[in-house]
Structure 1
Amino acid sequence: MENFALIFSAIFIGYLIAKADAFPKNTPLILNQFILYISAPAMVLLQIPKLTFSFEVIIPVFIAWVVMSISALAVFYLSKLFKFTKEVTGALMLVAVLGNTSYLGIPIIQAYFGEGALGYVLMYDQLGSFIALSTYGTFISVYYSSAKEVDIKALSLKIVKFPPFLALILALFFIGTSFNPVVESVLSSLAGTIIPLALVAVGLQLKFRLPSEDLKPFALALGIKLILAPLIAIVLCYIFSWNSKAAQISVMEASMAPMITAAAVASMAGLAPRLSSAIVGYGILLSFFTTWVVYNFII
């Protein structure tokens, strides 16, 4: 209960701050930069070494990519079926496929499964969602917004220079080992900042405006992200008879709301920015209910 109180309170605080215009407009950017460069790498270094080398570590990565791939195909096909514009299709290819597996995934899964689950969350997020955002997300934003070619070299550099990803590569060498208590204490303190800062940043960026002409793509996006995606993960676990904690956490990660950064990428590329923001805003609120339903189904 305390974790959920923190989630709702921090998001609401961020939303009120945005409404009151009390902080600078670039506050979400600053908070996200602090998280990306300090909080997230600290959490990766703290949690990943607690895992053990086994097939369980691969399950979240496998499920993440299968879920995103099938979701992208569903968006592509249904967008053609409903004759959505190129801009709307591009927006849906981002916000209906990429999930908020870190900023919301970490506090929500910690609330349900405890801190011991965070290693699997980070595997799903860093080797799944983040790489997909950096590669697939960049390609989609360029392809649907212009005729420019994707710069593969720049894309690769962006991935390998991303602080949490670098921390993940380093942390993989320390799986099964323990840090000095002083080092662990420092990492724990820094990692502890990720949840309140991330949730306040979420609240600062929430937008709910939605004109009537956007209702069909809006419903399609949330249907795919909040219903189809976890169903795909559940079916995968059933097919392979996976019922471990890693599998359960992967299903929960698949059920997370649309990624805020994906909406930001869509907006910067001119891909239906108002629709993208509304999908993320309403998706975050609805996801608290849908993740609860998914959790009670898989446990």
Structure 2
Amino acid sequence: MENFALIGFAIIVGYVLQKLHIFPEETPNILNKFIIYISLPAIILLQVPKLNFSFDILVPAIISWLVMGLSAVLVIVISKMFNWSKSITGSLLLVAILTNSSIMGIPIINAYLGEEALPYVLIYDQLGTFIALAVYGAFVTAYYSSNSSISSKVIIQKILTFPSFLALLIALLFLGQSFPPLLTSILTTFANTLIPVALVAVGLQLQFKLPKNDIKPLSIALIIKLAIAPLIAYIITITFGWNNLAGQVSIFEAGMAPMITAGAMASMAGLAPRLSIAIVGYGILISFITTAVISKLII
């Protein structure tokens, strides 16, 4: 219950601050940069070394990548059908694909499936969403934020210098190891800033009145993220016989709201910033309803 309250309260705080014009207009961009350059790398360095690999725990990771891959293909096909700009396409390839697997996933799945489900949440999050954010997210921002053709060399360079990807490479070197208590404490402090800072940033940028041109891509993005993605996950679990707790967690995770950090990344890269933040904001609100529907169907 506390997590649900924090989510709602932080977004409201950001929205009120926006309406009162207390902070400068560039504040959301500054907060987004703080998330991408400090909070997110801290979480990766803190959590990834804790992983132990086995096939059983890879089920959520496998499902996450299949869901993201198929959803991305769908976004590209629909974008071509409607002849959307490179900016809108790039925005949807981030916010309609990357799921809010930890900030929303942990409290919601804990509420519906209990604490025994949380290890699978972390697998989906760390081996699926986190790696996708670092590699796929960096690729999308590098390619779609460019106004001209961009070489593979430049894309690779941007990926390799992206903060979360660098943090991932470092974290993988310490698999199965523990950092000294002092370093762990510092990383934990920075990692704990992600949720409140990210949610306040969403509130600061949340717009309920959108231009008519944004309504169609917003609607399609939310349909893909909140309805089609969990349906894909459900079909995968049925096909491979993964009708267990790991499969249930994966279906829930696939249907979570769009990732807040993906919205921050899209906004910072200039990929339809207003649309990107709107998709995240509306997605968070609507996901409380859609995840309740998912719980009725699979539990």
Paired position in structure 2 for 1:124 = 128
Paired position in structure 2 for 1:238 = 238
Q: Distance between the aligned counterparts of 2:241 and 2:3, measured in 1?
A: 31
Q: Secondary structure at the match of 2:102?
A: helix
Whether the 8 Å contact between 2:48 and 2:126 is mirrored in structure 1 is yes
Kindly, what percent of the aligned residue pairs are identical? 44
Q: Distance between the aligned counterparts of 2:264 and 2:2, measured in 1?
A: 27
Q: Number of aligned residue pairs: give it.
A: 288
Paired position in structure 2 for 1:94 = 91
State the shift of 1:109 in Å: 2.0
Structure 1, unpaired ranges of 5+: none
State the shift of 1:13 in Å: 0.5
State the shift of 1:7 in Å: 0.7
Whether 1:196 aligns to 2:176 is no
**Mean CA deviation greater in 113-122 or 157-166:** 113-122
Paired position in structure 2 for 1:136 = 140
Q: Distance between the aligned counterparts of 2:10 and 2:215, measured in 1?
A: 29
Q: Distance between the aligned counterparts of 2:94 and 2:297, measured in 1?
A: 22
Q: Aligned pair in 2 of structure 1 residues 90, 208: CA closer, same or farther (>3 Å)? A: same
State the shift of 1:96 in Å: 5.9
Paired position in structure 2 for 1:252 = 252
Whether the 8 Å contact between 2:61 and 2:123 is mirrored in structure 1 is no
Paired position in structure 1 for 2:206 = 206
State the shift of 1:195 in Å: 1.2
Pick from 88, 98, 104: which aligns with 1:108?
A: 104
Whether 1:264 aligns to 2:267 is yes
Q: Secondary structure at the match of 1:107?
A: coil
Whether 1:3 aligns to 2:3 is yes
Match of 1:8, as an amino acid?
G
State the shift of 1:8 in Å: 0.6
Q: Aligned pair in 2 of structure 1 residues 260, 159: CA closer, same or farther (>3 Å)? A: same
**Mean CA deviation greater in 54-63 or 118-127:** 54-63
Match of 1:122, as an amino acid?
Q
Q: Deviations over 1:28-86 (max 9, x none)?
A: 222222222222222212212222122356444433332233223323444555xx233
Match of 1:105, as an amino acid?
S
Q: Aligned pair in 2 of structure 1 residues 119, 73: CA closer, same or farther (>3 Å)? A: closer
Q: Distance between the aligned counterparts of 1:226 and 1:141, measured in 2?
A: 25
Q: Aligned pair in 2 of structure 1 residues 214, 35: CA closer, same or farther (>3 Å)? A: closer
Question: TM-score, normalised on structure 2?
Answer: 0.81
Q: Deviations over 1:97-121 (max 9, x none)?
A: 645857x432212213467544541
State the shift of 1:169 in Å: 1.8
Q: Aligned pair in 2 of structure 1 residues 56, 138: CA closer, same or farther (>3 Å)? A: farther
Q: Distance between the aligned counterparts of 1:57 and 1:176, measured in 2?
A: 15
Whether the 8 Å contact between 1:36 and 1:164 is mirrored in structure 2 is yes
State the shift of 1:15 in Å: 1.0
Structure 2, unpaired ranges of 5+: none
Whether 1:43 aligns to 2:40 is no
Q: Secondary structure at the match of 1:226?
A: helix
Question: TM-score, normalised on structure 1?
Answer: 0.81
Q: Distance between the aligned counterparts of 2:77 and 2:178, measured in 1?
A: 48
Q: Secondary structure at the match of 1:53?
A: coil
Paired position in structure 2 for 1:85 = 83
State the shift of 1:227 in Å: 0.5
Q: Secondary structure at the match of 1:106?
A: coil
C-alpha RMSD over aligned residues: 3.0
